[in-house]
Amino acid sequence: MGGLQVSEGALARAGRRVCRGAAPGLLCLALTSCSGGVLDPAGPVGEGDATILIDATAIMLAIVIPTILLAFWMAWRYRASNTKAEYLPYWSYSGRIEAVVWSIPILTIMFIGGVIWIGSYKLDPFKPLSDKVPPLEVQVVSLDWKWLFIYPDQGIASVNQLVMPAGTPVRFSITSASVFNAFFVPRLGSMIYAMPGMVSQLHLQADEPGQLWGISAQFSGDGFSDMQFEVKSVPAADFTGWAKNARDSGPVLDKAAYEALLHQTQRVPPSTYRAVDSGLFQDVATQKIPPGPGPQPGGPEHAGREVSPDGSTGGKD
């Protein structure tokens, strides 16, 4: 591992140099046009992911660009109309070229393999970001078609709105109360699936206060396109203030209120809950509370050309 790390560091540096030097084309076009995207990270995880993405691209471009040039040069040099080029109608083997041809991809992939190995461990979403600063706990439930965020330590919850203190690591525990979704805040980095009956862990951090956004990255049905949420990174003091405000107003997320959330709705505006049943997340994740019922006969999702399981037409007649 030690050896790998050394070479990775060197490579990363070399990679960045290559990016600045040889590969200004597509890559840097992408870079500049990506403000607000994954190459404009707002926290350490996003930065780690993006660095690896760029380094790996640079390592590969170092070999891909010469290969493409070689291909076109070869085709041009040996075009039929070029009578100056020698014609070797029987030539089909050269041990030396074969050796090179196998070793170039093998070496490249060995480098990439090092990046994969180190990167996978360093940026494992389950791994806490810091062992000194205790993280803020946030529990995430994906619903049809909105996101529920529960702050167990603050005893509050919010829908389609994630507020987090800047500079503090956040530990997300993520599950789904219906179908698969993927929790993704592009500028914070690593996405992870929200899956029913399972809890995924994700550690993220926003370095500076700012307005971000999140999205579901796994198709989840008709309301999927609006399964987006606002993400506010605020100074630590403001976070406490926000939590206090939330505690003072809004409804309570009890069983009945959660039932209502389980039904399919779209474009749900952000809102907060004053209090949350303790253990709600556990009950959702273990499916003690059954998952969302999906489309209901008579509901708008049934208005199409759809027929329900018992054969009766829903909604249309």
- Asked whether 232 and 161 are in contact (CB, 8 A), the reply is yes
Q: How far apart are the first and last CA of the chain?
A: 67
DSSP annotation string for 186-232: TTTEEEEEE-BT--EEEEE--SS-EEEEEEE-S--STTGGG-EEEEE
CB of 181 to another protein, least distance (A): 10
Distance CA 178, CA 144 (A): 7
**Cα dihedral across residues 239, 240, 245, 250: positive or negative:** positive
Contact positions with another protein (CB under 8 A) in 223-282: 223-226, 228
142/154 with CB nearer another protein: 142
Q: Is the dihedral of CA 187, 188, 191, 196 positive or negative?
A: negative
Show contacts with another protein in window 48-77 (CB under 8 A): 48-50, 52-53, 56-57, 60-61, 64, 67-68, 70-72, 74-75
Q: Smallest gap, in angstroms, from Cβ of residue 250 to another protein?
A: 25
CB 243 to another protein: min, Å: 27
**Minimal distance, residue 80 CB to another protein, in Å:** 4
Nearer CB in complex with another protein: 120/278:
120
Site for another protein in 169-228 (CB under 8 A): 178-180, 182, 184, 186-187, 189-193, 195-198, 200-201, 215-226, 228
Count interface residues toward another protein (CB under 8 A). 112
Q: Decide if 307 contacts 314 (C-beta within 8 A).
A: yes
36 sits near another protein (criterion: CB under 8 A): yes
Considering only residues 10 through 29, tell me which ones interact with another protein, judged by CB under 8 A. 26, 29
- Using the contact rule CB under 8 A, the part of the chain among 93-101, 148-156, 162-170, 251-259 near another protein is 93-101
Residue 243 and residue 156: Cα distance in Å, rounded? 7
Which of the ranges 13-21, 124-132, 133-141, 270-278 carries the binding residues for another protein, by CB under 8 A? Answer: 124-132
Taking the CA atoms of 234, 237, 243 and 245 in sequence, report the sign of the dihedral they define: negative
At 173, give phi and psi (nearest 5°).
Answer: -110, 125
Site for another protein in 103-122 (CB under 8 A): 104-106, 108-109, 112-113, 115-117, 119-122
Among 78, 244, 252, 298, binds another protein (CB under 8 A): 78
Q: Which of 84, 89, 131, 237 binds another protein (CB under 8 A)?
A: 89
Least CB distance to another protein at residue 5 (A): 14
Distance CA 259, CA 144 (A): 12
